[in-house]
């Protein structure tokens, strides 16, 4: 009996990534965009709805998630949505960091992931990945790309 060769797994070409701003998110975005050979286009660099539409129509991209109206259009065209979390929500360390962030006036806003959790209902066919901690992030990048 002849065993057919395994089919290569399909790499995503349009990816939305959410996470706290910082070196972990930046490094992840750069590594994934390079590995997939697609442009990295942060949503904050798009000048308006026309540029968001142009990006969404493009064949391949990696971009950041933004809570503005751009997110819905980009998620609609995405092959994969990834959320990066530095620590497990609800852990003691996470609670301490959240409390300190809330106390500091210059701290960045807390990441709202309600839209990500809703994707299971609104787009059940869309692949989603939640990565918690640097070891999980590194393992996923090594395996994916």
Q: 95 — phi, psi (to 5°)?
A: -65, -40
Select the highest-mean-pLDDT range: 8-12, 27-31, 141-145. 27-31
Report the pLDDT averaged over residues 77-106: 74
- What are the pLDDT digits (tens) for 33-46? 999 999 999 888 88
Q: Above 90 in pLDDT, residue 81?
A: yes
C-alpha to C-alpha distance for 44 and 67, rounded to whole angstroms: 11
Report the largest interatomic distance among the alpha carbons of the chain, rounded to a whole angstrom.
68
pTM of the model: 0.77
Q: How far apart are CA 74 and CA 124, in angstroms?
A: 16
């Amino acid at each position: 009996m002849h065993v057919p060769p395994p089919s290569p797994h399909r790499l995503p070409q349009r990816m939305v990534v959410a996470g706290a701003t910082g070196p972990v998110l930046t490094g992840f975005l750069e590594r994934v965009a390079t590995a997939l050979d697609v442009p990295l286009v942060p949503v904050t660099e798009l000048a308006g709805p026309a540029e968001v539409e142009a990006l969404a129509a493009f064949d391949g991209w990696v971009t950041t998630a933004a809570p503005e109206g751009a997110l819905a259009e980009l998620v609609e065209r995405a092959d994969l949505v990834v959320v990066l979390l530095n620590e497990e929500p609800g852990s003691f360390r996470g609670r301490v960091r959240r409390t300190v962030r809330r106390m500091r006036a210059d701290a960045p806003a807390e990441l709202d992931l309600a839209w990500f959790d809703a994707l299971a209902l609104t787009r059940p066919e869309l692949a989603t990945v939640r990565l918690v901690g640097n070891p999980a992030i590194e393992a996923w990048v090594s395996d994916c790309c």
